[in-house]
Amino acid sequence: MGKTALITGASSGLGAEYARQLAAKGADLVLVARDRGALDELAGRLRRTYGVEVEVLAADLLKPRQRDKVVARVADRDRPVEILVNNAGFGLPLAFERNDIEDEVQHLQLHIEVPMRLTHAALRAMLERGHGRIVNVASVAAFIPRSTYGACKGWLVSFSRWANGRYRSRGVTVTAVCPGYTHTNFHERMGLGPGQEGVPDVMWLQASDVVAESLRDVARGVAVSIPSLRYKALVTLARFAPPSLAARIGERGR
């Protein structure tokens, strides 16, 4: 209650679900995404339903001037952000050799550079206050070879583990959330309609369940949250799988 959460990629998918569940817990919100119209619509619903304050900050995080506005908002000591959710991201086809290299560079920037910058900005203010929570939305792909997406998410998990160990004793926790395949519009933005992803029905998760379980782990200060027992088991098995088998597993789905 009385806390403010800033969420990137908040206009849809997991970002919108984090906004909804945090608003339901009484948190005021700062919603960040490129689509101002979608943000305004979501903000209106959350204000009406939960009575919280919602600030809309439309920004393309791949454009330095717009990104820096979000960095400044996170670091603003007069309007403290207690919870930072680094959720913005997008996917690319697994065929790295056929992807445009500039698309790959932007992919890396959004999944690594942007959360690193925002985490750096948040940490300074949070450590001064002696409390705060940072949530980095990663993926189970961090544990299974899956082109540059898995590599980016692997960095985010490793960084979050280190940061949580480093700063938890000073009141600031950092949690990497690693969902499996989740019903959002993530794959549709890659041009894949429902049923075209190549993923068995049993492997799909609901966004509401992913967010609820991850927030319980965040509240406990867990460094790595893997929502659902099926994906916890898969990650455990992947650790012991031969590299060639792990790579084949990573090729499943799109």
Q: Who contacts 224 (Cβ-Cβ below 8 Å, separation ≥6)?
A: 157, 160, 161, 175, 176, 178
Q: What is the C-alpha separation between 73 and 51, in angstroms, rounded? A: 22
Three-state SS annotation for the chain: CCCEEEEECCCCHHHHHHHHHHHHCCCEEEEEECCHHHHHHHHHHHHHHHCCCEEEEECCCCCHHHHHHHHHHHHCCCCCCCEEEECCCCCCCCCHHHCCHHHHHHHHHHHHHHHHHHHHHHHHHHHHHCCEEEEEECCHHHHCCEHHHHHHHHHHHHHHHHHHHHHHHHCEEEEEECCCCEECCCCHHHCCCCCCCCCCHHHCEEHHHHHHHHHHHHHHCCCEECCCHHHHHHHHHHHHCCHHHHHHHHCCCC
Token digits for 45? Answer: 């619903």
Looking at the annotation, which residues are catalytic?
149
Locus of tokens 């717009």: 66
